[in-house]
């Protein structure tokens, strides 16, 4: 979805100012390691990428404390009925939409729990719409359109930290009382943004100067993987390391559900299949039924009492 705006073009002065303002950013710098990129063999290019991508992993490790806080804050918000929104433009926006889209099949969450907002709407997922990132007002209107409130968490994603669309969205979210989080790949002294949690993934200069779909994109994807998965773990969507809330919507996922039941119980494939069917294809409920002897309705009630957390439900039975 696109939103109305008042200024659709930039004059030469503003373009020149933009170059002056952003040229110093870490994400725009030249990488000495790739100076001869156009003269490298294919193997040398692969080796260079492999070496440089290690910086993405290190950058996420350096931000571990901030990511942990984001997990705890977001899980607490969602327990109160809040939602998680990712907001971005270009590559950053696409990564947010991707992470949000993968939560329902992986954790059986309602689509509204985790949502991705990208400048230019759905069309921008398939066709470059980077020019739309300069509209701060569109970011504000997107927050308004989604009814963001004080229970929600809004994560602004902008590799260079300067995207007006993201700034507008974060400012609007803050005004509504939502928890605001920034994920950027430039240090705070280069771009300061007033948010509740500030996550900086300092991957260094890109192999192709300024192409933040590379290391910056990789680090951002890693961070989003950690954030959304960590939140779902805290919400009881995982038992051990098994996705016990997997949405069984096709043959592959039905087989995965059976393997989880077989691995965690003493059941053979036929018995596990019968149990899964009795549970309505809900792995978590099937496990509870098997381990407690409860029927589906009683098991559902017990899980509801414990906010869907299987381990808490089992502990409650043991305490009795």
CA angle 61, 208, 134 (to 5 degrees): 85
Q: Which residues in the chain land under pLDDT 50?
A: 1-20
Candidates 168, 238, 153; CA nearest to 199 is: 153
d(CA 8, CA 246): 44
The catalytic position among 52, 133, 206, 300 is 133
230 contact partners, CB below 8 Å, separation of at least 6: 67, 68, 71, 75
Q: Give the strand pairing for 114-118 and 153-157.
A: unpaired
d(CA 157, CA 67): 14
Q: State the burial class of residue 102 (Cβ atoms within 10 Å of its Cβ: 0-12, 13-18, 19+).
A: middle
pLDDT for 130 equals 63
pLDDT for 21 equals 63
The catalytic position among 102, 130, 137, 144 is 102
Kindly state the tokens that stand for 124.
């921008």
64-78 per-position pLDDT tens digit: 999 999 999 999 999
183-228 per-position pLDDT tens digit: 999 999 999 999 999 999 999 999 999 999 999 999 999 999 999 9
pLDDT for 26 equals 87
Q: How long, in residues, is the chain?
A: 320
pLDDT for 262 equals 96
pLDDT for 127 equals 80
Active site residue 300: no
pLDDT for 19 equals 36
pLDDT for 125 equals 86
What the chain holds in terms of domains, given with CATH numbers, is 20-234 (3.40.50.10490), 251-319 (1.10.8.1080)
Active site residue 102: yes
């Amino acid at each position: 979805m696109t939103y109305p705006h008042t200024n659709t073009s930039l004059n030469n002065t503003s373009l020149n100012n933009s170059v002056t303002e952003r040229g110093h950013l870490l994400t725009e710098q030249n990488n000495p390691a790739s100076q001869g990129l156009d003269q490298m063999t294919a193997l040398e290019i692969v080796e260079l990428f492999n070496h440089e991508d290690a910086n993405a992993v290190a950058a996420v490790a350096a931000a571990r404390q901030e990511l942990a806080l984001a997990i705890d804050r977001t899980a607490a918000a969602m327990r109160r009925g809040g939602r998680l929104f990712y907001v971005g433009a270009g590559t950053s926006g696409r990564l947010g939409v991707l992470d949000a889209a993968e939560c329902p099949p992986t954790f059986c969450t309602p689509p509204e729990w985790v949502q991705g907002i990208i400048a230019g709407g759905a069309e921008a997922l398939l066709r470059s719409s980077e020019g739309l990132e300069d509209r701060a007002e569109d970011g504000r209107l997107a927050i308004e359109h989604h009814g963001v409130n004080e229970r929600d968490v809004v994560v602004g994603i902008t590799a260079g930290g300067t995207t007006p669309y993201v700034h507008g969205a974060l400012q609007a979210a803050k005004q509504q009382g939502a928890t605001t989080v920034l994920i950027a790949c430039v240090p705070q002294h280069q771009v300061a943004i007033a948010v509740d949690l500030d996550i900086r993934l300092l991957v260094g200069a890109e192999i192709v100067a300024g192409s933040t779909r590379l290391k910056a994109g990789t680090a951002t994807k890693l961070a989003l993987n950690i954030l959304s998965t960590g939140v779902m773990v805290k919400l009881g969507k995982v038992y051990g390391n098994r996705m016990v809330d997997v949405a069984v919507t096709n043959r592959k996922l039905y087989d995965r559900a059976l393997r989880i039941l077989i691995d965690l119980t003493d059941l053979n494939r036929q018995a596990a299949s019968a149990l899964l069917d009795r549970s309505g294809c809900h792995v978590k409920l099937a496990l509870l039924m098997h381990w407690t002897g409860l029927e589906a309705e009683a098991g559902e009630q017990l899980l509801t009492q414990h906010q869907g957390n299987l381990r808490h439900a089992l502990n409650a039975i043991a305490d009795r």
